[in-house]
């Protein structure tokens, strides 16, 4: 279990301006980021859901900011398709949730 499972750079669509990389591992309150400032407390895997897009695999990473003690979650939603029996990751949506798991919004994809 490690924050390394979440990439340091994900991409946000800016429409006509293309894609801009952001770091999703950032405290939503004090905006601190970096491996020394955030502590991974828990990793929660949900049951996978089959949808039209493929298989959706949701993972929540519960994180505490060591600077302001805010608890928040980074949620990864992996969209996987089976092609010739092989699993292929199509995309992953990244959302940030607050301590009560209210969705604070979509950050980007990788």
Binding site for Zn ion (CB under 5 A): 27, 29-30, 32, 65, 67-68, 70
Q: Least separation, in Å, of the C-beta of 66 and Zn ion?
A: 8
Comparing CB distances to Zn ion, the nearer of 77 and 96 is 96
How many C-alpha atoms does 55 have within 13 Å on its Cβ side?
A: 13
Comparing CB distances to Zn ion, the nearer of 32 and 58 is 32
Q: Least separation, in Å, of the C-beta of 99 and Zn ion?
A: 12
Q: At CB < 8 A and 24+ separation, what contacts does 16-25 make?
A: 22/107, 22/108, 24/74, 24/94, 24/96, 24/107, 24/108, 25/63, 25/74
Comparing CB distances to Zn ion, the nearer of 34 and 53 is 34
Transcribe 44-100 into DSSP letters: EEPPPEEETTEEEEEEEEEEEETTT--EEEEEEEEEEEEETTEEEEEEEEEEEE-TT
Q: Least separation, in Å, of the C-beta of 109 and Zn ion?
A: 24
Q: Least separation, in Å, of the C-beta of 89 and Zn ion?
A: 30
Comparing CB distances to Zn ion, the nearer of 30 and 90 is 30
């Amino acid at each position: 279990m490690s924050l390394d499972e979440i990439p340091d750079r994900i991409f946000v669509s800016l429409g006509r301006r293309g894609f801009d990389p952001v770091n999703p591992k950032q405290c939503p309150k004090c905006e601190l980021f970096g491996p020394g400032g955030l502590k991974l407390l828990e990793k929660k895997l949900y049951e996978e859901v089959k949808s039209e897009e493929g298989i959706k695999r949701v993972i929540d990473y519960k994180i505490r900011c060591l600077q302001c003690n805010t608890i928040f979650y980074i949620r990864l939603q992996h969209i996987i398709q089976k092609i010739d029996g092989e699993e292929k990751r199509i995309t992953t949506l990244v959302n940030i949730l607050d301590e009560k798991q209210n969705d604070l919004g979509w950050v980007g994809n990788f």
